[in-house]
Amino acid sequence: MSLSLPTTSPSISWEDPLDLMDEIDRLKKERDAVILAHFYVDGEIQDIADHTGDSLKLARDAVRASASTIVFAGVHFMGESAKILSPQKTILIPDLQAGCSLADSCPAPSLAAYQAQLRSQGHDFQTVAYINTTAATKSLCDWIVTSGNAREIIDRVPPDKEILFVPDQHLGRYLSEVTGRKMILWPGACQVHEIFSVQDLLRAKKNNPHSLVIAHPECPHAILEHADFIGGTEKMRQYVASLAEPKLFLVATEATMIHPLQKLAPQHTYIPVPGIMASDGKTCACNRCPHMARNTLQKVRDCLRDGRPEITWQPYFEKAREVLERSLLK
C-alpha cells in the first residue's frame, strides 16, 4: 500500500512499514543479501536487520556473512570497511550521502601533510586511527581501533614509538589516560557527542539521585568525568545486561542507542542526556546523528531493489585493507 500524504512537499510519500518489511524480505532472498545495521540507525531498521552492532562487530559480520550482497545501514566509512574486508561481495548502502563529521575532520591530504611535518621535526611515531575515518585516511595509518578494541590495539604499538591518534581528540584523550601512553591528538570531534550539556546532565543526576550515567568515550572530558560507566556501544549493552536490578540510566551517546539497550535489558529505564545547540545555547533532545538518520526503510528497500548505491573498489583500498586486517581480524 502506498499513500500520498497531504503535504506542501509533493515528493514526500508514505509507505506502510509492514509492506516495506515484506518487500525487503522478498528482495533480500532474490538478491542473496543480508542487512547489517549500526546501533545508531532507526530502531525499525535494526529490527529487520540480520545483524546489529557497533563498527567492530559489523565489520566482522560482513566478513563472516555467506551472502553475496551486504546492505550496510550505517554511514559511508562503514560501507567502505565492509568492501575492503570483503572485496568479492557487493556492498550496498541505503544513502551515499550518509557521511560522518568525525571522518570528515581528518581528510587524507591534511593527515599526510601533518605526518610529514612531524617526521621533519624528528618525531618517531605510529598513527592510530579510530575506525571513523575514510578509507583514504586509513591507508595512511598503522593501526585502526574501535571503541571496543582500542586498549588492546594500543598495547600493540611498540613502547618506544610515539602515537599520533586521529581523528577524535576526546577518545584519544580518554585512551591516553587509561593506557598511560602519551599521544599527539588530532583535533577532530563527533558533532553528536560534542553537544552534550554538562549542566543538564548534573541537573538530571540531581533529580534522579540513584541514576547511573553511561557515556561513550567520544564524549568530551567534562561529560566523562561524571560517568559511572564509559564504553562503546557493545560494552554499554554488556554493562546494562549485567545488572539484574532495575536502574535508571542517563545515556550520553546517540539517542537511538536506547533502542537496543531497551530491547536487551528492558528492566531498566533509559533517559537520553540532553544536548546543547551551539547556535543559540539552548538545550534540546537532538542527539541524533543526522548522517545515520539518512537511513530509512524505504532507502533500504530501494537499494535492494535497484542494486545501488554501491561501494566500489578504489586503488587505495589495498593499503587500507592491510591496516584493517592487521587491526580487526588478527
Residues that bind ligand SF4 (CB under 6 A): 40, 75, 100-102, 132, 190-192, 254, 289, 291-292
Task: Write out the three cell numbers for 324.
Answer: 584493517
Smallest separation (angstroms) from ligand SF4 to the CB of 3: 31
Q: Give the span between the Cα atoms of 144 and 165, in whole angstroms.
A: 10
Task: Write out the three cell numbers for 23.
Answer: 518487500
Residue 202 or 285 with smaller CB distance to ligand SF4: 285
In contact, 214 and 127? CB cutoff 8 Å: no
Smallest separation (angstroms) from ligand SF4 to the CB of 188: 9
Residue 76 or 89 with smaller CB distance to ligand SF4: 76
Residue 259 or 291 with smaller CB distance to ligand SF4: 291
Smallest separation (angstroms) from ligand SF4 to the CB of 288: 9
Smallest separation (angstroms) from ligand SF4 to the CB of 144: 14
User: Residue 251's beta-bridge partner residues?
Assistant: 214, 272
Residue 100 or 304 with smaller CB distance to ligand SF4: 100
Q: Which residues contact 252 (CB under 8 A, 6 or more apart)?
A: 193, 196, 201, 213, 214, 215, 216, 219, 223, 227, 273
Residue 27 or 190 with smaller CB distance to ligand SF4: 190
In contact, 205 and 213? CB cutoff 8 Å: yes
Q: Which residues contact 159 (CB under 8 A, 6 or more apart)?
A: none
Q: Give the span between the Cα atoms of 56 and 237, in whole angstroms.
A: 14
Residue 132 or 137 with smaller CB distance to ligand SF4: 132
Nearest CA-CA partner of 72 in 123, 37, 120: 37
Name the pairing type of β-strands 90-92 and 51-53: unpaired
Residue 291 or 301 with smaller CB distance to ligand SF4: 291
Smallest separation (angstroms) from ligand SF4 to the CB of 217: 11
Smallest separation (angstroms) from ligand SF4 to the CB of 246: 28
Smallest separation (angstroms) from ligand SF4 to the CB of 75: 5
Smallest separation (angstroms) from ligand SF4 to the CB of 132: 5
- The one-letter amino acid code at 46 reads Q
Residue 167 or 309 with smaller CB distance to ligand SF4: 167
Smallest separation (angstroms) from ligand SF4 to the CB of 106: 12
Residue 51 or 247 with smaller CB distance to ligand SF4: 51
Task: Write out the three cell numbers for 206.
Answer: 540531581
